[in-house]
Amino acid sequence: MSSPATRILSLDFEPLDIPLMEPFVIAIGRLEHVRNVLITVTLENGVIGYGEAAPLEPINGENQATVLATLQSLSPVLAGRDVMEWRRLSRELAGLFSMQAAARAGLEMALLDAATKCMRVPLYQFFGGMGDRVETDISIPIVEPDRARELAQGITAQGVRFIKIKVGSGLDADIARTLAVREGAPGCEIQLDANQGYSAPEAVELLRELRGQGIRVRLFEQPVPKHDRLGLKFVTEQGRVPVAADETVFGASDVLDLAHLGAANVVNIKLMKSGLVEGMDIAAVCRAANIRLMIGGMIESKLAMCCSAHFAAGNGGFDYIDLDTPLLLAEDPFEGGYRVEGPIYHLSHIEAGIGCWPKGRPSGMLG
Ligand SMILES: [Mg+2]
C-alpha cells in the first residue's frame, strides 16, 4: 500500500564539480577534474535522499551531460511515486535506461538513502549488517618510479596494508614502478590494475618478471581488454595470482559467462557500472560461482564511496576494498559519512541512510 508520506515530492540534480589534487593517469586516460552529478530526492514527509552519479566516459560511455539529460527525462517517471517501492522503481529505470548505469546508480542511491531514512535504519544494516566497517587499499597512478616510491612511503605511514598500482603503460615502466613501490612500502601487499592495458601474454610476462624479483601480487585486475574473455581466462590460468574482472563486468549475466569459462577469480563491483540492485545480483551470482568479491568505484567523492562502503560492509564477503578516490580530491563537499581511521572506514555511528549530505544543507533525516 502506497503511503502519501513517502511519495516523491521532487527530484533535483546539479553538477558536482570537484578539482583533483593532481592529474590522475591510468591506462585508459588522464583526468584533471571530476565532473559528477549530485542528486536530491525530497519526499512528502520532508525526508531528503542524496545520491551521486560518477560517470567515467572511457569506461561506461556516460558523462556529466548525459547523466543530467537522463535524470531530466526520468523526472516525470518518479514524480509522486512511493520511495518505499525502490526496487520496483529501480526495475523500471533499468528498463528505460539500461545503458545509463551511472545515472541510475546515483538515483538508486538517493532513493535508498531516502527509504532507509524513513525506516530509521543505516544503510549497512539494511543490506544485512554483516559488518560495520571496511579496510580500503590506496592506489598509485601511472607515475615515474621516484614519485611512486614517495607516494608509497606516505601511504604506508598511514597504516595502509594494501597498495594498488596502476599499470598497463608498458612492461619496463610498470616493473620499475612496482619495484619502487615495494622499496617505499616493503610491508604492504601489492595489487595491480592494468585497466585493459595488456594482451594476455604480456600480462603473464609481467607477473613472471615480478615473481623473478620476489614480488607475488595479491590481485591482478583487468589485465586485458574488456571483451577479451579468453585472454582473461588465459591470465587466470597462467598468472598464478588471483585475477579480477572489472571493466568486463557490468551485470550479473557477465559474471555467469565468466563463471562458465572459468575466466576470473574475483569480480570488481562498482555501483556506477551496475546500480545497486544489479550490484546485489552480481554479488549473489559471484557467491554461487565461488568467485570472490571486490568493491571499487569511478572517481567518486565521499557520498558515493560511503554508499559503497555500506554496500560492502552490510552485504559482507568482500575480500578486496578499493574505495580511496575521495583522497584524490582537493575538496570534500560533504558532511557526515564514514569516519576514517587510517585505511579503515567506520560506519557504526551512522543512524540512518547513507549518513552523508552536502555541506550547508539539511541532513534530510526523518524529524
Ligand atoms: Mg579497476
User: Is 224 among the domain residues?
Assistant: yes
Residue 273 Cα to ligand 1 middle (Å): 11
Same domain for 67 and 15, yes or no, is yes
Q: 52-83 pLDDT, tens per residue?
A: 999 999 888 999 999 999 999 998 889 999 99
Residue 77 Cα to ligand 1 middle (Å): 33
Which stretches does DSSP call E strand in 157-276?
162-166, 189-193, 219-221, 243-245, 266-269
Give residue 331's region: left, alpha or beta (phi > 0; psi -120 to 50): beta
User: Is 329 among the domain residues?
Assistant: yes
User: Is 363 among the domain residues?
Assistant: no
Grid coordinates given for 12: 533535483
Q: Which residues of 267-286 are buried (b: 16+ CB within 10 A; e: fewer)?
A: bbbbbbbbbbbbbbebbebb
Same domain for 132 and 104, yes or no, is no
The pLDDT value recorded for residue 25 is: 82
Residue 270 Cα to ligand 1 middle (Å): 9
Give the domain-ending residue among 78, 97, 122.
122
Residue 120 Cα to ligand 1 middle (Å): 34
Grid coordinates given for 124: 549497512
Q: 187-241 pLDDT, tens per residue?
A: 999 999 999 999 999 999 999 999 999 999 999 999 999 999 999 999 999 999 9
User: Is 350 among the domain residues?
Assistant: yes
Residue 325 Cα to ligand 1 middle (Å): 12
Structural domain count, the chain: 2
Task: Provide the residue range defining the domain that includes 110.
Answer: 4-122
CATH number of the structural domain spanning residue 345:
3.20.20.120
- Quick check: 127 and 312 in contact, CB under 8 A? no
The pLDDT value recorded for residue 204 is: 98
Same domain for 160 and 303, yes or no, is yes
What is the pTM assigned to this prediction? 0.97
Tell whether the model's pLDDT for residue 2 goes beyond 80: no
Task: Please name which of 206, 207, 199, 190 lies closest in space to residue 148, comparing C-alpha atoms.
Answer: 190
Give the domain-ending residue among 122, 148, 182.
122
Residue pointed to by grid coordinates 525506516? 119
The pLDDT value recorded for residue 5 is: 94
SS3 50: strand
Residue 115 Cα to ligand 1 middle (Å): 30
- Quick check: 154 and 181 in contact, CB under 8 A? no
Task: Please name which of 281, 326, 321, 276 lies closest in space to residue 115, comparing C-alpha atoms.
Answer: 276
Give the domain-ending residue among 122, 152, 169.
122
Same domain for 284 and 148, yes or no, is yes
The residues near 288 (Cβ < 8 Å, ≥ 6 apart) are none
Same domain for 137 and 235, yes or no, is yes
The pLDDT value recorded for residue 1 is: 55
The pLDDT value recorded for residue 225 is: 97
Same domain for 229 and 144, yes or no, is yes
Residue 316 Cα to ligand 1 middle (Å): 20
Tell whether the model's pLDDT for residue 105 goes beyond 70: yes
Same domain for 69 and 167, yes or no, is no
* CA of residue 329 relative to chain centroid, distance: 15
User: Is 366 among the domain residues?
Assistant: no
- 10 Å CB burial of residue 17 (0-12, 13-18, 19+) is middle
Same domain for 151 and 63, yes or no, is no
Residue 240 Cα to ligand 1 middle (Å): 19
Same domain for 75 and 106, yes or no, is yes
Residue 269 Cα to ligand 1 middle (Å): 10
Residue 84 Cα to ligand 1 middle (Å): 33
Residue 367 Cα to ligand 1 middle (Å): 40
Collect residues with CB below 5 Å from ion ligand 1: 193, 221, 246
CATH number of the structural domain spanning residue 84:
3.30.390.10
Q: 276-330 pLDDT, tens per residue?
A: 999 999 999 999 999 999 999 999 999 999 999 999 999 999 999 999 999 889 9
Residue 349 Cα to ligand 1 middle (Å): 30
Residue pointed to by grid coordinates 620499475? 176
Residue 193 Cα to ligand 1 middle (Å): 6
User: Is 338 among the domain residues?
Assistant: yes
Q: 9-48 pLDDT, tens per residue?
A: 999 999 999 999 988 887 777 888 899 999 999 999 999 9
- Quick check: 269 and 275 in contact, CB under 8 A? no
Same domain for 208 and 248, yes or no, is yes
Tell whether the model's pLDDT for residue 106 goes beyond 80: yes
Tell whether the model's pLDDT for residue 4 goes beyond 90: no
- The conformation of residue 338, written as its DSSP 8-state character, comes to P
Q: 132-169 pLDDT, tens per residue?
A: 999 999 999 999 999 999 999 999 999 999 999 999 98
User: Is 309 among the domain residues?
Assistant: yes
Residue 45 Cα to ligand 1 middle (Å): 40
Same domain for 330 and 194, yes or no, is yes
The length of the chain is: 367
From CA 203, how far away is CA 107, in angstroms rounded? Answer: 37
Residue 268 Cα to ligand 1 middle (Å): 7
Beta pairing, strands 29-43 & 133-135: unpaired
Same domain for 78 and 176, yes or no, is no
The pLDDT value recorded for residue 320 is: 98
